[in-house]
Chain A
Amino acid sequence: MFIATRDLTFAQGRFLMMGSVVALVAFLVITLSGLSAGLVKANISGLMALPATHIAFEGTDHPGYRNTMVERYMWEGWAGQEGVLHAEPLGHTVFNARTVDGKPLEIALWGIGPGSVIDPVVTEGEGLGGIENGVVITRDLLDDSLKIGDTIFLDRVLTELKVVGILHESRNIGHLPVIFAPLRKWQEATYGPPGGPPPGEKLPDIVFDFVSVVLLQLEEGVDIAALDEENETTTFDRLGFFAASTGYKSEVQSVQMIQSLLFVISAVVIGAFFSIWTIQRTKEIGLIKALGASNAYVLKDALGQAILIIVLGTLAGLAGMFWFYTAVKDTELPFMLQSSTITNSIIMLLVAGTFGAVMSIRRITQVDPIIALGRDR
């Protein structure tokens, strides 16, 4: 890179400008990837945190969390199988609710067995099971000024829940914050009469024989299809049970389309820059060839310079992203900083940018050295 390095030193302003454009594109790509991932996570952070390899739904064609009902014999059927480390019933219902002050909430109530493997470890207060209507809320509900000891009223079913614990993390499903309740309380609210049974009466046992899904921890090699058939369930792996969340698939597809477009734009923008730069250098390239440089020599020099700018610009964009993350991490803006997301974005950006540069720089091979004589033929 004899000429390339000297060029960079000589025309610092020009290359700084080009590098800035690359940095801005990189910042855009990486930050949007983080925002996209954050948006997707906001949909399914509750599911992502579940210690499950699989989830079994009611055995229908396209089960979702809102239209699945699993009976006791199904989850007990899973629990007794070889290779099934855990089979925990989980209830999911979306409720409109209110705080004591009348502030409206829309929440996803999850019923889980206190002390089970899916019982969350609270950051503050107590866990489930201390009182029959004690619930654990998650970080996103703290913005609604909820605190330990507060009461939450579930509309329509006239059920009161008491906040006994707080998990200082986001747990969402379908962009709704999750509230963890004891499984029996969830079953009462979901299947029982509004306000509970009449005084002096108990709810029939059948109310407690239904849940929404079964959370599974399976060893390798379990014949899932056979167990699904036996227990009349439809089981999904992690990607599958993420996709079962409302809107997840379309969000992911939208996000993937945005990311794909961004990479195409990156290639085009960077390619356009290097195209213009190559055109401006046409006379010099002709001169270098007239002096005896091969196409390979000139290409190597130019491409080396382009890659250097792309790499440095990308690193600058990455630094910008970290600054952005620092600025937004304690706000409501969904942003996920994940090493795999960042690494993939950087690799794709380097590939797209290099492709763009190669497509523009290859015109170097067409420059006729005769132009060094100042006459075009």
Chain B
Amino acid sequence: MSLKVEFVSLVFGDGDEQVKALDNVSMDLQPGQLMAVLGPSGAGKSSLLAVCGGLQTPTSGKIWIGDTDITGASKSALTRIRQQQIGFVFQQSNLLSSLTAIDQLLLLIHMRGKRPEKADRERATKLLDEVGMSHRLNRRPSELSGGERQRVGIARAFMTNPTLLLVDEPTSMLDQNRGKQIVELLVRECHEYNVATLMVTHDQGILQTADRVVDISDGNLIERT
């Protein structure tokens, strides 16, 4: 099991102003499975990503990534878990403005306290090639289109061989055509590298490509059969 979420709730505020972003949610993901989470704004999609990614501590419940219970982990432990086991693809690609495409990936190696070596460079080049960016290795984000930036973001997410990939509305900033290409790319890479993927999206077009689809509403998950 790559991801296991057990009776997780996330509550903000108290008393009359209490907001339940997640309400007793349970789910699991196997390696190589892509689960799409659909729902309107404010339904709890980002909260689900945040708790699964160790960016937010749930109010109750437990979360495992691989064999690791991340629920009660310290901040430094969560940092390590994100570094080693989780890949993120963000809504706005979120690339560092001063790094070239290849450096965006090599940064993840450097963060681990390692100087990027030839093997790391080769892996980064291969990943960028797989996402169709081999001709843009030394370009910075300002020199890339929105779709190109998102491709680099996807390659970056796979750089560290993550156990879990968390994808936050990857096509929201892209036109339909480019969005379709990105989704197809994600699906291909997730199956290629056998990575459990949780994708939050508004995009109904994902339904054909995802292995599983859940709807989220008012913090509750309902899986479609």
The contact string, 1 if C-beta is below 8 Å from chain A, for chain B 80-119, is 1011101010111010111110010011101110000000
Chain B residue with Cβ nearest A374 = B91
Shortest CB–CB separation between residue A237 and chain B, in angstroms?
55
Contact A292 B111 (CB under 8 A): yes
Known A-B contacts A292-B82, A292-B111; the reply to A374 vs B92 at CB < 8 A is: yes
Is residue A11 within 8 Å, beta carbon to beta carbon, of the partner chain? Answer: yes
Is residue B219 within 8 Å, beta carbon to beta carbon, of the partner chain? Answer: no
The contact string, 1 if C-beta is below 8 Å from chain A, for chain B 100-143, is 10010011101110000000000000000000000000001000
- Please give the number of chain A residues whose Cβ is less than 8 angstroms from any Cβ of chain B in the complex: 25
Which residues of B sit under 8 angstroms from A374, Cβ to Cβ? 46, 90-92, 168
Chain A residue with Cβ nearest B115 = A2
Choose from B91, B96, B100, B112 the contact partner of A288 (Cβ within 8 Å): B96
Which residues of B sit under 8 angstroms from A3, Cβ to Cβ? 96, 98-99, 107
Shortest CB–CB separation between residue A293 and chain B, in angstroms?
5
The contact string, 1 if C-beta is below 8 Å from chain B, for chain A 135-166, is 00000000000000000000000000000000
Measured between alpha carbons, how far is A375 from B50 in the docked complex, in Å?
10
Known A-B contacts A288-B96, A291-B82, A291-B108; the reply to A6 vs B91 at CB < 8 A is: no
Measured between alpha carbons, how far is A370 from B86 in the docked complex, in Å?
14
Chain A residues within CB distance 8 Å of chain B: 2-3, 6-7, 9-11, 284, 287-294, 297, 368-370, 372-375, 377
Measured between alpha carbons, how far is A291 from B111 in the docked complex, in Å?
9
Which residues of B sit under 8 angstroms from A291, Cβ to Cβ? 82-83, 88, 107-108, 111, 156
Query: Can you report 5 A-B residue pairs in the complex whose CB atoms are below 8 A from each other?
Result: A2-B103, A3-B99, A292-B108, A369-B82, A372-B88
Count, A-B residue pairs, CB within 8 A: 83
Known A-B contacts A6-B99, A287-B94; the reply to A373 vs B108 at CB < 8 A is: no
Choose from B56, B88, B96 the contact partner of A377 (Cβ within 8 Å): B56
Contact A373 B90 (CB under 8 A): yes
The binding surface of chain A is classed by DSSP as helix
Which residues of B sit under 8 angstroms from A11, Cβ to Cβ? 98
Contact B80 A370 (CB under 8 A): no
Shortest CB–CB separation between residue B214 and chain A, in angstroms?
19
Chain B residue with Cβ nearest A5 = B98
Looking at B49, B111, B112, the one whose CB has the most chain A CB atoms below 10 A away is B111
Shortest CB–CB separation between residue B11 and chain A, in angstroms?
12
Known A-B contacts A2-B107, A292-B108; the reply to A7 vs B56 at CB < 8 A is: no
Which residues of A sit under 8 angstroms from B82, Cβ to Cβ? 290-292, 369
Which residues of B sit under 8 angstroms from A372, Cβ to Cβ? 55, 88, 90, 94
Known A-B contacts A290-B55, A290-B82, A292-B79; the reply to A373 vs B50 at CB < 8 A is: yes
Contact A297 B46 (CB under 8 A): no
Which residues of A sit under 8 angstroms from B88, Cβ to Cβ? 290-291, 372
Which residues of A sit under 8 angstroms from B225, Cβ to Cβ? none
Is residue B58 within 8 Å, beta carbon to beta carbon, of the partner chain? Answer: no
Known A-B contacts A3-B98, A6-B99, A292-B84; the reply to A373 vs B49 at CB < 8 A is: yes
B21-62 at interface with A (beta carbon < 8 Å):
46, 49-50, 53, 55-56
Shortest CB–CB separation between residue A258 and chain B, in angstroms?
39
Shortest CB–CB separation between residue B106 and chain A, in angstroms?
8
